[in-house]
Amino acid sequence: MHIAENISLRPFNSFGIDVYARSFAGFSSTAELTELITGSSIFTRYPLLILGGGSNILFTKDFDGLVLKNELKGIGLVNEDDAHYYIKAQAGENWHRFVLYCIEHNYAGIENLSLIPGNVGASPMQNIGAYGVEIKDVFHELQAFHLETGSIQTFGLNDCGFGYRESVFKKKYKDQFVILNVTFRLKKQPVFNTSYGVIEEELNKMQVHELSIRAISDAVINIRSSKLPDPAIVGNAGSFFKNPVVPKSQYEELRKSFPSIPGYTANNEQIKIAAGWLIEQCGWKGYRKGDAGCYTRQALVLVNYGNAKGSEIFALSTSIIESVSAKFNVQLEREVNII
């Protein structure tokens, strides 16, 4: 067991924020995780942070504690029935590489989630979603390590409390578990989800005449690449804000003043509004102050153009929230975890 001291976290977060951790170690097995937790007095004396792909986190200061990097790897078929394959992926696997693996093996259901940054372990924590698909639609179960007892617990679909970018691991069980692996229930016969018009448009541009999960994945990759910056080039965490959900009555009032406001049915009572549109209407798209900015192609994405501090990006997000609230009386909520 090797614990390094005073380590820069810049290579370990997609925003590229240069902050330092008091202590840092990686684990690639449950035994190593157990040893780090039980054999280190650091764990009892200082805060603990479990880090995956670092793609949904904004560091605003140095972390005065122990950072454990989840490096659990492995993907395999664990079961199947007449209609489904059950694929288990370890939490440290890169999400997009896992999606491509499933496409290669004709396991259908997550092709719409191509090119989402981060690791497999974060996918149920955030209930990640894009283009009409969410993790809860393909989730079977996960195993998680309980930090206090050292036990390994299994969580089924109903145990996870999935909501819009929510699960029990974000609030109820926050900082209590380490997700070890996730098993997905993927289809043998694809059911193509092209309900988002941009996918249809891209498939037409690509001149796709016969639908396949690979074609849909390629279309999603093209769309995301055209709108979102590559974190290896421009630091970012993807969508910084959730799309707000408001009562239908409030949405109808907003339409009277803003006829072009885009809204999508969330349920019988509520409408989901595109946060990017709200932010753009407030004039933030393309805004830059120093190295902190709002991306030129997608207002939902805040970026680090080089050496921005996390506190500067956080301050920008606060200004955006305040201006959207003042103009539309709609409250934006950060999707990114703030440390």
* Cα 166 from Cα 67, distance rounded (Å): 23
183: tokens are: 């098993």
Residues 51 and 66: beta-carbon distance below 8 Å: no
Question: Phi and psi for 185 in degrees, rounded to 5?
Answer: -105, 100
Q: Is 185 a catalytic residue?
A: no
Phi-psi region of 274 (alpha: psi -120 to 50; beta: other; left: phi over 0): beta
Phi-psi region of 321 (alpha: psi -120 to 50; beta: other; left: phi over 0): alpha
Name the active-site residue from 111, 134, 312, 335: 335
Name the active-site residue from 239, 312, 317, 334: 239
Q: If DSSP codes are grouped into helix, strand and coil, which group holds residue 306?
A: coil
Name the active-site residue from 165, 185, 224, 334: 165
Residues 21 and 9: beta-carbon distance below 8 Å: yes
Identify the H or E element spanning 338: strand 337-338
Q: If DSSP codes are grouped into helix, strand and coil, which group holds residue 96?
A: helix
Q: Is 35 a catalytic residue?
A: no
Query: CA dist 313 to 93, 223, 240, 265, Å?
Result: 28, 25, 10, 31
Q: Is 141 a catalytic residue?
A: no
- DSSP 8-state code for residue 54: -
Mind telling me the catalytic residues?
165, 239, 335
